[in-house]
Amino acid sequence: MGSKHLVSSDNKVFAFSREMKPALIIEDGDEVVFETLDCFSNQIKTTEDRLENLNWSEVNPATGPVFVNGAKPGDALVVEILDIEVANQGVVVAGKGLGPLGEKFEGFHTKIVKIKDGCAMFNDLQLPIDPMIGVIGVAPKEGSVNCGTPGPHGGNLDTRYIKKGAKVILPVFVEGGLLALGDLHALMGDGEVCGTGIEVAGKVTARIFLKKGLELRNPMVISEGNLFTLASEKTLDEAIKSAVSDMAEFVLRYANTSLEELTMLFSIVGNTEISQVVDPLVTARFRIPLDVLEKLGLSKDTIGY
């Protein structure tokens, strides 16, 4: 078993790039606790703290980055999420220009949501929380990508299956990978249609493995007995096409089947789903049960779980 480390929220980045200076250097199999700020850098504490008055240069911080010794371009990082702890209150914001209903608002509205005994108190509703990670990624192949934007490197994927018990598989584009994460949500629905979930500060405990030679075009997630391929594009049509194509390419690399047979199987047991529709690029996912993949000949070691 590897060593255990802590990265405080003082080590924050607002964009993913190869220029990020490592906050921590670890070995394959090490465990890391990431302390995270919420997506507003904890600037909103009451309903009087307005979205329009925020310091926008401090929005969407990610904690890190972490340099994984031995990680090279063409490899993958497997981030096993061991635990997610959230603070005792979060914030939800709705308003002008945010999400599908944004055109119906003139201004912005802030709601503070208390979190107690595993529930979020939304007026008279006690909603069981299901903490997840909004932003998780590595340095992209080139350039700089702000933490609010998803892409092949990961980033702001806003996918509710990225939670305790999941494994996030990220392609490595630069030496060390340079992993960072943040933007926790105590609860978020598919689409994140107002632009926010219950945004919350917290801690993520993760074990990080290096998967040599596992070349990926986009991130994958293993969660709740399924493998997901995630893709972020300008439109949902493009994102869906990319996510399904990535799954087909991955399965055909290891399985003894034809494209024709696999396409039919995808249509029978695969599920095309929406992660988020509010970021600069939208994110879709394609889901296949792990037991189906195993029957096609993909081993647990191949898939990464």
Per-domain boundaries in the chain = 4-216, 221-303
Instruction: Extract the tokens encoding 143.
Output: 């350039």
Q: Is the dihedral of CA 250, 252, 255, 258 positive or negative?
A: positive
Say whether pLDDT at 258 is over 70: yes
Instruction: Extract the tokens encoding 214.
Output: 């596992």
Q: Is 84 helix (H, G, I), strand (E, B) or coil?
A: strand
Q: Per-residue pLDDT tens for 78-114?
A: 999 999 999 999 999 999 999 999 999 998 999 999 9
Rounded mean pLDDT, 165-192: 98
Question: For the chain, what's the residue count?
Answer: 305
Fold adopted by 4-216: Jelly Rolls (2.60.120)
Say whether pLDDT at 301 is over 90: no
- The DSSP-derived string for 102-137 is GGG-SSEEEEEEEEETTEEEETTEEEEP--EEEEEE
pLDDT of residue 300: 79
Find, among 289, 278, 295, 137, the residue nearest to 216 by Cα. 137
pTM of the model: 0.96
Q: Per-residue pLDDT tens for 6-24?
A: 999 999 999 999 999 999 9
Say whether pLDDT at 30 is over 90: yes
pLDDT of residue 304: 66
CATH class name, domain 221-303: alpha beta
Instruction: Extract the tokens encoding 206.
Output: 């993760």
Whether the CB-CB separation of 216 and 151 falls below 8 Å is answered with: no
Say whether pLDDT at 208 is over 80: yes
Rounded mean pLDDT, 280-305: 90
Amino acid at 188: M
pLDDT of residue 57: 83
pLDDT of residue 299: 84
d(CA 3, CA 24): 12
How would you label 32-68 residue by residue, b for 16+ Cβ within 10 Å and e otherwise? bbbbbbbbbbbbbeeeeeebeebeeeebbbbbbbbbb
d(CA 221, CA 304): 10
Instruction: Extract the tokens encoding 224.
Output: 């709740």
Q: Is 150 helix (H, G, I), strand (E, B) or coil?
A: strand
Find, among 229, 125, 176, the residue nearest to 16 by Cα. 176
Nearest 10 degrees: Cα torsion 267, 271, 272, 275? -170
Whether the CB-CB separation of 24 and 177 falls below 8 Å is answered with: no
pLDDT of residue 76: 97
- Tell me the percentage of the chain whose pLDDT exceeds 70: 99
- 65 preceded by a cis bond (ω within 30 of 0): yes
Q: Per-residue pLDDT tens for 43-57?
A: 998 888 777 778 878
Sequence-ordered alpha helix ranges (H) in the chain: 236-254, 259-269, 290-295, 300-303
Amino acid at 212: K
- The DSSP-derived string for 181-224 is EEEEESS--TB-TTS-SSEE-EEEEEEEEEETT---SS-EEEET
pLDDT of residue 55: 83
